[in-house]
Each structure stands twice: as C-alpha cells, then as structure tokens.
C-alpha cells in the first residue's frame, strides 16, 4: 500500500459524489476546450487559407468586425509598384447566408489573380471568363449546400451556376463559395470596392524587407493595414473580443468547477473528521493530512480535466459538423490547448482543496477518543 492508495480510496468511497464532481469539472474544462478551440481555430483557419493561396502579406481593415471593411479598389495602385511586391490580388470577402447554409464564406477574386492558382478542380471546370455567371464551390461548401456541378445557386438576388467543385488545400478555402470579383461586387452593390488585397512578395525577400514593406504600405494606405498572412485575424478587435468572451465564459465554467470540488472536499473532510482525528492520533503529521486532502483534490481535478478534454474534443468535432459552423473553421485542438486545459483542471483541484486541507489540519486528534 502506498500513499497514492490512501488517496484513491478516499475518492472511491463515495463513487457517485466523486463521479458527479468529476463531471462538474469536466463540463467546465470541455467549455474551455470547445470555446477557446473554436476561437483559436477561426484564426488558424484564416492563416492556413491565406498561406494556401500563396499570400505573404494581406492588406485589410479588420478592426471592427470579423469580416474586413470594404475600401476602394484603387488602393491596389498605391501598392503594386512597391519594391518586393511580386503580385497582388484584389478580393472581396463576406459571410453570407446562402440557401440552407446560415453562414458561409463567399470569396470573390480578381479575375486572373494568383489567388485562383491554389484551387484544384475535383469536378467540373473553372469559369470561362469574368462575365460568366458562375461560381466554384469548395468541397465542404458543396457538401454543406448540397450542390453538384450544374446546379444553380442563389446569392442575394442573383442566380449563378455551379461550374466546378475545388479543393483549396485549406479548411477556409474548402468551405468557401468562390467567384470572380466583378460579379460579386455587382451582386452586393459594392462596385469598385474590395476588402482584402493579397500580396505575394518576390522570392528571397528577407523577413526584414517584408516588415519594411508592411510599414511602407501602412504609411501609404490609411484605409487598411498590412500584416503578415495569418496575423490579420488575430489583430482584429472583433476576434479579440470573441477570444476574450471565450476565455471569460470558460473561466466562469471553471469557477463553477472550483466551487464544486471545494464543496466535495469540504464534505469529505466533515464526513471524515473522526477518521482524520484517528490518523492524527496514530501519529500522522498534519502535513501528511494536508497532502492527502490536496492530492485527492488534485486527482479529482486531473480526472475531471482528462474527461473534460475528451468531452470538449468530441463536442468540438460535433460542432464542427453542424451546418452553422461546417466549413467556416477548423477547431484548434492542439496539444498545447489540451495540455493547458488539463493543467487548469489540476490547478482547479489544488486551489479548491486548499481551504478543506486547512480545515482538516485544524482538527484535534483528541476527538479520536470520542466514540
């Protein structure tokens, strides 16, 4: 028998209460995994999408919302001639409700721009010309919209043809409806407006030069902000707010977990008062009693954390398959997030056990002789 045996016996003596407490912590941790995983996934999906398009620098105005604010297409003229700029591609991107999909990414690209190059046809063909009323669907978008090549698709008031299904090599790309820029500008009444400029820098441009290029663009273009691909979302205030809300909601759930564990451990200490007094009478040091309560509490947290990570991961995968989210983002279930979640759970356990442990250390061994 080891000290660990003593700790586990303390937990299994009330299996229902222990189980419910673990469930309570796991719900809190599942909330952390799900909410933070989704918000992180949103940023990561954008980053991989941009990288898949071969974009090194992106110019957009992401300050106030998750969708960039439109600006004049003439901005491109101020950028295209700058040193180290290899190519640019104007884009108008929006989140729209299309037919049965509550929210789907529509990405309208400059005809002939490099951002079309990463798209690989799975079926059908590319649009013939800029004037053809046609769209390409990412493979997930086709699945979500239940469309095949040859079907019609209603975007706002216009009906367009699905001419091809493509693989864009990134979650966001695969979840998008892709069409020529002028067509979408006309449909949405955003003539001559864009909200993203993808920039590809010349090969062998140093990181320092890319940084200087961003600074130069920011000086020349007050309408938008140039940042390295992938950083644009994380610098958005809206995204930061979503992330803060995710953590806030998660922490509330965790706080409920703390109270749950504290309640359980206090009950344990009260229930085992005489037992603890007997242990003291048998010569156990107060430090050992404190360690026993804290380890029990930490073990509760650990078990709750592991269960929470599993529930959260399954839940996020399930959420990712729902029509509202499918194709929009790939939840980030990185090892770091899972490890942080388990660490939070263990910390919850230890913090919750502090007061009960202190209470247990205040017990008087003489009570052991009171039958």
The reply on whether position 265 binds another protein by CB under 8 A is no
* Nearest to another protein of 12, 321 (CB atom): 12
CA distances from 210 to 24, 48, 56, 334 (A): 48, 19, 8, 28
Stretch that binds another protein, among 43-51, 207-215, 280-288, 314-322 (CB under 8 A): 280-288
The reply on whether position 290 binds another protein by CB under 8 A is no
- Binding mask 5-44 vs another protein (x if CB under 8 A, - otherwise)? xx--xx-xx-------------------------------
Q: What minimum distance in Å lies between the beta carbon of 26 and another protein? A: 24
Q: What minimum distance in Å lies between the beta carbon of 274 and another protein? A: 7
Cite the DSSP H helix spans in 167-236: 171-174, 181-188, 207-220, 231-234
The reply on whether position 177 binds another protein by CB under 8 A is no
Q: What minimum distance in Å lies between the beta carbon of 283 and another protein? A: 2
Instruction: State the CB neighbour count (10 A cutoff) for residue 223.
Output: 16
Give me 244's structure tokens: 């803060």
* Nearest to another protein of 83, 366 (CB atom): 366
Chosen residue from 72, 274, 334, 336 binding another protein by CB under 8 A: 274
The reply on whether position 4 binds another protein by CB under 8 A is no
- Report d(CA 115, CA 371) in Å as an integer: 81
The reply on whether position 365 binds another protein by CB under 8 A is yes
Stretch that binds another protein, among 4-12, 103-111, 193-201, 331-339 (CB under 8 A): 4-12
Q: What minimum distance in Å lies between the beta carbon of 287 and another protein? A: 9
- Report d(CA 299, CA 308) in Å as an integer: 14
Instruction: State the CB neighbour count (10 A cutoff) for residue 1.
Output: 6
Angle (CA) 156 159 160, round 5°: 115
- Are 297 and 356 a contacting pair, CB within 8 Å? yes
* Nearest to another protein of 235, 286 (CB atom): 286
Instruction: State the CB neighbour count (10 A cutoff) for residue 339.
Output: 12
Q: Is residue 168 helix, strand or coil?
A: coil
The reply on whether position 273 binds another protein by CB under 8 A is no
Q: How many residues bind another protein (CB under 8 A)?
A: 27
Query: Among candidates 333, 334, 316, 313, which has minimal Cα distance to 325?
Result: 316
> Which residue shows structure tokens 């499918």?
326
Report the half-sphere exposure of 40 (CA within 13 A, side-chain side): 16
Q: What minimum distance in Å lies between the beta carbon of 300 and another protein? A: 16
Q: What minimum distance in Å lies between the beta carbon of 358 and another protein? A: 17
Binding site residues, another protein, CB under 8 A: 1-3, 5-6, 9-10, 12-13, 274-275, 278-286, 288, 364-366, 368-369, 371
């Amino acid at each position: 028998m080891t000290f660990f045996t003593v700790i586990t016996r303390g937990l299994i003596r009330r299996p229902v209460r222990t189980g419910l407490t673990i469930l309570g912590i796991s719900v809190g941790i599942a909330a952390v995994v799900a909410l933070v995983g989704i918000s992180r996934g949103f940023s990561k999906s954008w980053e991989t999408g941009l990288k898949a398009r071969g974009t090194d620098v992106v110019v957009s105005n992401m300050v106030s919302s998750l969708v960039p604010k439109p600006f004049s297409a003439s901005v491109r003229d101020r950028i295209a001639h700058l040193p180290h700029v290899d190519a640019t591609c104007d884009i108008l991107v929006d989140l729209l409700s299309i037919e049965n999909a509550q929210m789907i990414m529509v990405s309208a690209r400059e005809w002939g721009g490099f951002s079309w190059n990463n798209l690989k046809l799975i079926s059908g063909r590319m649009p013939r010309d800029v004037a053809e009323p046609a769209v390409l669907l990412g493979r997930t978008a086709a699945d979500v919209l239940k469309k095949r090549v040859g079907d019609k698709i209603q975007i706002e008031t216009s009906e367009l043809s699905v001419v091809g299904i493509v693989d864009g090599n990134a979650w966001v790309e695969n979840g998008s409806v892709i069409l020529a820029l002028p067509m979408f500008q006309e449909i949405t009444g955003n003539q001559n407006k864009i909200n993203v400029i993808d920039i590809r820098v010349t090969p062998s441009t140093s990181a320092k030069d890319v940084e200087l290029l961003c600074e130069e663009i920011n000086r020349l273009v007050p309408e938008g902000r140039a940042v390295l691909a992938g950083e644009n979302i994380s610098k958005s205030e809206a995204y930061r707010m979503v992330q803060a809300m995710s953590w806030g909601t998660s922490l509330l759930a965790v706080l409920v977990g703390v109270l749950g564990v504290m309640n359980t451990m206090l009950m344990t200490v009260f229930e085992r008062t005489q037992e603890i007094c007997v242990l003291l009478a048998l010569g156990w040091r107060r430090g050992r009693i404190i360690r026993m309560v804290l380890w029990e509490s930490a073990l509760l947290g650990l078990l709750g954390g592991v269960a929470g990570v599993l529930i959260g991961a399954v839940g996020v995968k399930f959420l990712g398959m729902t029509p509202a989210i499918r194709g929009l983002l790939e939840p980030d279930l990185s090892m770091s997030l899972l490890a942080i979640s388990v660490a939070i759970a263990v910390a919850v356990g230890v913090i919750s056990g502090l007061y009960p442990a202190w209470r247990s250390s205040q017990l008087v061994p003489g009570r052991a002789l009171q039958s």
